[in-house]
Amino acid sequence: MAKKLNMRKRYELLTRGLGWEPTYQPKEKVFPQESYEGIKIVDWDKWEDPFRLTAEAYWKYQAEKDKKLYAIIDSFAQNNGHLNLTNASYINALKIFIQGVSPLEYGAHRGFANLARQFSGEGAQIACQMQSIDELRHVQTQIHTLSHYNKHFTGLHDPFHMHDRVWYLSVPKSYFDDARSAGPFEFMTSISFAFEYILTNLLFVPFMSGAAHNGDMATVTFGFSAQSDESRHMTLGLEIIKFIVEQHEDNLEIVQGWIDKHFWRAYRVLGLVSAMQDYMLPDSPMSWKEAWDIYFVDNCGALFKDLGRYGLRMPKFHEQATAEAEHLSHQIYFTLYQFSHAAAFQTEIPSKEKMDWLSEKYPNTFDKYYRPRWEMYAEMEKQGKRYFNAGLPQLCQVCQVPMCFTEISKGKPLDLSYRLSEYNGDKFHTCTDACKAIFDHEPEKYSHAWLPVHQIFQGNCGGEEISDVLKFYHFNPEDSGEYKGSADDISWRAAHGENNDIEESA
Amino acid sequence: MSESKVFIILQRNEDARPFVEAFEQENPEAVFKYDQPGMIRIENIGELKITEEVVSELAGRDVDLQELHLVLVSLSGCVDEDDDYFKVSWN
């Protein structure tokens, strides 16, 4: 019997020597997207995947991961695991997850499939194919896991339809559309590096660990199962950046520009995760700020120290993101609270215990700026005037988050922050210097953004009334609004033998 | 070796046990954090390394180091792996 090949040799056989030089058509026509971004690749053979997985090992381990996950999903369903959560209000975080994140997994699947076609290097083709299949696995396992919750709770019934239309979901959607409508190298820098390497730990590690903490075995399992692939993607993302920069000196400036832009775009998307983590997990094991310090400040500090010898520096505006860490979740959750009558999830004022936890985790900001506002809303609710904002928010032209951010880095955390650009005689508003810089660099792209609020006003979203728009979104009436007294709250209490005579405050 | 911190996060389950113990044995300076539910965070300055020999000894069978993929949650650092070792480090 032939001797078993070693890992390096196996990887080499899989990723080298299978390509060919085209003769019927010039190479630029076979790979038409490879050069127009200005990235110069001299030698694709320098591409090296640090995890040298062969096709055989890949399928074996992925099958193993799925077997474990599906065994847990089955047992979770058979044992009515949803009844062992800390509270049904927790499901609201899962609603945002399946509406906002799972469709991104699908977008990544399509994006990497395209890259596998567009890159001419075989090592890159193989890596992109595997990642494309990973991403498809993620969206499928997420749908399968959360379908159990869909039998018992509201808001989970049509996430893909919602993703393409709903105002708060245009935040993640527009980021991925931005990356997918760019060239292959920019997409890769955006998704593999800025999103996966720099930021996804913030989503998949503390939030999923939080799911375990709140009794959601099924979600932590798909989360960690997906994250085991992410570790591979992140590692690859780092190698790709080094590969591109080492290929040609002209590449450095282009790549740094993309890192700056996509760090900020992806960070803005994670604003939703900050609210999920701090407010929507009934018990949070770690605050957004703590997670930011560990996964961004420490970890990315080390990363960019390492990348310094390639001439790369920390992403522009990272100081601002760090300065915002003590405010972000509060500002985002206030916005979700005010507009949840038009959302497919419900919100509520944080409990007393939750507020005390927030005071402890945010000693510089919560009691000073945010607790008084919650106390005011609580007072209004007591008087039967649960606050919903009757208007439609102005959205940032780039990140599409409602203009809820303040001038934190200027030391004015109570002043609303907005910026103005003019392009072709029209005015465009952005939320920060960072989003404005992105707009001003490519106004021809962002001036075309599909902004949900503008679209509602233009009559493109089902009609004039909020109720028409919600129908257009495929929301059911019980999906939205205040959590207390909601269908989810009532069925949860009934299942736990609790009194449903709660105050009608909404 | 770099002064920067590398980390590896593994699921807290039986499949991860021989890997966790190997990290303990082969990286005496490493710090093990169990404060987050469902996972173990292993940190070290500069690098973290395990060998196939030690993991197999601890598992009581021949372990393919790529089985690490089944329990890996996240990591930070540059990966270097071969049949007989797995290493994460900052250069």
Binning pLDDT at 50, 70 and 90, where does residue A505 land? very low
Binning pLDDT at 50, 70 and 90, where does residue A438 land? very high
Inter-chain residue contact B39 with A224, CB threshold 8 Å: yes
Q: Please name the residue of chain A whose CA is at the shortest distance from the CA of residue B5.
A: A302
CA distance to partner chain B, nearest, from residue A209 (Å) = 5
> In this structure, is residue A17 part of a structural domain?
no
**Least confident window among A230-244, A342-356, A451-465:** A230-244
Inter-chain residue contact B38 with A7, CB threshold 8 Å: no
Q: Please, which residues have CB within 8 angstroms of residue A33's CB and are 6 or more apart in sequence?
A: A118, A183, A184
- ipTM of the complex as predicted: 0.91
pLDDT for A1 equals 58
Binning pLDDT at 50, 70 and 90, where does residue A288 land? very high
pLDDT for A388 equals 97
Q: What is the pLDDT of residues A378-433, one digit of tens each?
A: 999 999 999 999 999 999 999 999 999 999 989 999 999 999 999 999 999 999 99
pLDDT for A421 equals 98
pLDDT for A451 equals 97
Inter-chain residue contact A306 with B67, CB threshold 8 Å: no
Query: For residue A247, with 0-12 CB atoms within 10 Å meaning exposed, 13-18 middle and 19 or more buried, which class applies?
Result: middle
Residues of B in contact with A306 (CB under 8 A): 2, 4, 78, 90-91
The conformation of residue A397, written as its DSSP 8-state character, comes to T
- What is the spatial distance between Cα B68 and Cα B64, in angstroms, rounded to a whole number? 8
pLDDT over 50 at A112, yes or no: yes
Handedness of CA A123, A124, A126, A131 (dihedral sign): positive
With b for 16 or more beta-carbon neighbours within 10 A and e for fewer, the A414-442 pattern comes to eeebbbebeeeeeebbbbbbbbbbbbbee
Binning pLDDT at 50, 70 and 90, where does residue A501 land? low
Chain B interface, best mutation among A220, A306, A309, A312, by max B CB count within 10 A: A306
Whether A230 contacts chain B with CB within 8 A = yes
Helix (H, G, I), strand (E, B) or coil at A434: helix
Q: Is there a contact between B51 and A264 (Cβ–Cβ < 8 Å)?
A: no
Inter-chain residue contact A7 with B83, CB threshold 8 Å: yes
pLDDT over 90 at A207, yes or no: no
What number is the average pLDDT over the span A273-280? 95
Q: Is there a contact between A31 and A118 (Cβ–Cβ < 8 Å)?
A: yes
Residue in A50, A232, A301 closest to B80 by CB? A50
Inter-chain residue contact B5 with A206, CB threshold 8 Å: no
Binning pLDDT at 50, 70 and 90, where does residue B1 land? low
- What is the spatial distance between Cα A180 and Cα A167, in angstroms, rounded to a whole number? 20
Which structure tokens are listed for A386?
């649960």
Inter-chain residue contact B74 with A235, CB threshold 8 Å: no
Inter-chain residue contact B75 with A235, CB threshold 8 Å: yes
pLDDT for A500 equals 61
What number is the average pLDDT over the span A8-22? 86
Mean pLDDT of chain A: 93
Whether B73 contacts chain A with CB within 8 A = yes
Inter-chain residue contact B81 with A57, CB threshold 8 Å: no
Inter-chain residue contact B74 with A61, CB threshold 8 Å: no
Q: What is the pLDDT of residues A25-62, one digit of tens each?
A: 999 999 999 999 999 999 999 998 888 888 888 999 99
What number is the average pLDDT over the span A442-460? 97
**Least confident window among A189-193, A199-203, A363-367:** A199-203
Which structure tokens are listed for A164?
């393409």
pLDDT for B70 equals 93
Residue in A50, A212, A234 closest to B81 by CB? A50
Determine phi and psi for A485, rounding to 5 degrees.
Answer: 85, 0
Q: Which of A 86-145 lie inside 8 A of B, CB atoms?
A: none
pTM listed for this prediction: 0.94
Residues of B in contact with A238 (CB under 8 A): 78
CA distance to partner chain A, nearest, from residue B70 (Å) = 6
How far is residue A36 CA from its own chain's centroid? 28
What number is the average pLDDT over the span A69-84? 93
pLDDT over 80 at A278, yes or no: yes
- What is the spatial distance between Cα A66 and Cα A60, in angstroms, rounded to a whole number? 10
The conformation of residue A105, written as its DSSP 8-state character, comes to H
Which structure tokens are listed for A495?
């299942």
The count of domains in chain A is: 1
- What is the spatial distance between Cα A202 and Cα A223, in angstroms, rounded to a whole number? 12
Whether B36 contacts chain A with CB within 8 A = yes
Q: What is the pLDDT of residues B14-69, one digit of tens each?
A: 999 999 999 999 999 999 999 888 899 999 999 999 999 999 999 999 999 999 99
Binning pLDDT at 50, 70 and 90, where does residue A4 land? confident
> In this structure, is residue A8 part of a structural domain?
no
DSSP string, A123-167: HHHHHHHHHHHHHHHHHHHHHHHHHHHHTTSSS-S-HHHHHTT-T
Q: What is the pLDDT of residues A164-187, one digit of tens each?
A: 999 999 999 999 999 999 999 999
For A78, the domain range is 36-491
- What is the spatial distance between Cα B46 and Cα B48, in angstroms, rounded to a whole number? 7
pLDDT over 70 at A138, yes or no: yes
The conformation of residue A169, written as its DSSP 8-state character, comes to T
pLDDT for A394 equals 95
Whether A234 contacts chain B with CB within 8 A = yes
Whether A57 contacts chain B with CB within 8 A = yes
Taking residue A381's Cβ as centre, other Cβ atoms within 10 Å add up to 18
Determine phi and psi for A321, rounding to 5 degrees.
Answer: -60, -40
What number is the average pLDDT over the span A244-251? 97
For B79, the domain range is 5-89
DSSP string, A38-102: ----S-GGG---SS---HHHHHHHHHHHHHHHHHHHHHHHHTTGGGGSS-GGGHHHHHHIIIIIH
Which structure tokens are listed for A414?
């109570």
- The CATH number given to whatever domain includes residue B29 is 3.90.56.10
Residues of B in contact with A206 (CB under 8 A): 36
Inter-chain residue contact A302 with B76, CB threshold 8 Å: yes
pLDDT for A155 equals 97
> Looking at this protein, which amino acid is placed at residue A77?
A
Which structure tokens are listed for A437?
């810089």
Inter-chain residue contact B69 with A204, CB threshold 8 Å: no
- The CATH number given to whatever domain includes residue A159 is 1.10.620.20
pLDDT for A504 equals 46
pLDDT for A2 equals 65
Inter-chain residue contact A6 with B9, CB threshold 8 Å: no
Chain B interface, best mutation among A48, A235, A305, by max B CB count within 10 A: A235
Whether B11 contacts chain A with CB within 8 A = yes
Inter-chain residue contact B81 with A52, CB threshold 8 Å: yes
Q: Please name the residue of chain B whose CA is at the shortest distance from the CA of residue A61.
A: B70
pLDDT over 90 at A205, yes or no: no
Q: Please name the residue of chain A whose CA is at the shortest distance from the CA of residue B70.
A: A65
Inter-chain residue contact A302 with B4, CB threshold 8 Å: yes
Residues of A in contact with B82 (CB under 8 A): 6-8
Inter-chain residue contact B69 with A298, CB threshold 8 Å: no
Inter-chain residue contact A61 with B70, CB threshold 8 Å: yes
pLDDT over 60 at A370, yes or no: yes
